[in-house]
Amino acid sequence: PATRTLRYSDAMPVHVVDHPIAQDALAALRRSTTDAREFRRNAARLTTTLAVEATRTLRTRNAEVETPLGQASARLVHGEIVIVPILRAGLSMLDPLLSLLPSARVGYIGLQRDERTAVASSYYRKLPKQVADARVLLVDPMLATGGSAINALDLLKGVGATETALLCMVATAEGLSAVEAKHPRTAIYTAAVDPILNGQKFIVPGLGDFGDRLYGTD
């Protein structure tokens, strides 16, 4: 199957996307010799594959469309969708999602991680008014301790969001458990669950600092 479902609780399924394209893209992202250009390209490939799985349960409505040769029955995506990247690394996942969901609205949450304590604090938030009635896709490539995801989900819950999903490229069991404890109804989609965090709270084996590798900074 393309997806394995790990159940951390009855409420919060974790979907590990085993699709060959997802795993091929992940391998390129992990490889230390991958340059920024290839890193960005494979980040887009992986995001697209995660997004297809995460949107499998979107609401639809029946319709009729006119083809060059007549009418055809159709199903159209229905309802509000909001994509919320966590700045800055989450921006890498925005364009691939918008290519699949061109009518989606976009919000932004800026979080800064303290390098000493690994605790994330919010410095920016801009969200559409429709969040409360929407399916919200929160995107951040790395789910390490879970602190940033919990902070962002707290903010979304505070403005009325009730239907949330988290898309990340690599997660840890520690991060998944932390999110489950605070937001058990948030479904999570990831390409891998790595075993440990090091002393600096980076995922091991992981793929390094995602933002630095994406933008060529250090």
Check if 162 is active-site: no
Residue 212 annotated as catalytic: yes
Coil vs helix vs strand at 145: coil
Compute the distance between CA of residue 104 and CA of residue 187 in angstroms, rounded to an integer: 19
Considering the candidates 117, 133, 154, 217, report the single residue annotated as catalytic.
Answer: 117
Cα 137 → chain centroid: 7
* Rama region for 208: left / alpha / beta (φ>0; ψ in -120 to 50; rest): left
Give the DSSP letter of residue 16: E
Q: Are the C-beta atoms of 153 and 107 separated by less than 8 Å?
A: no
User: Using an 8 Å Cβ cutoff, are 87 and 214 in contact?
Assistant: no
Helix and strand totals (H; E) in the chain: 6, 16
Strands 170-172 and 196-197: unpaired
Place of tokens 């795993």: 23
Place of tokens 């819950």: 157
45 is an active site residue: no
Contact 208, 32 (CB under 8 A): yes
117 is known as an active-site residue: yes
From 41, 88, 105, 209, active-site residue:
209
For tokens 């075993």, the residue is 195
Catalytic residues: 113, 117, 209, 212
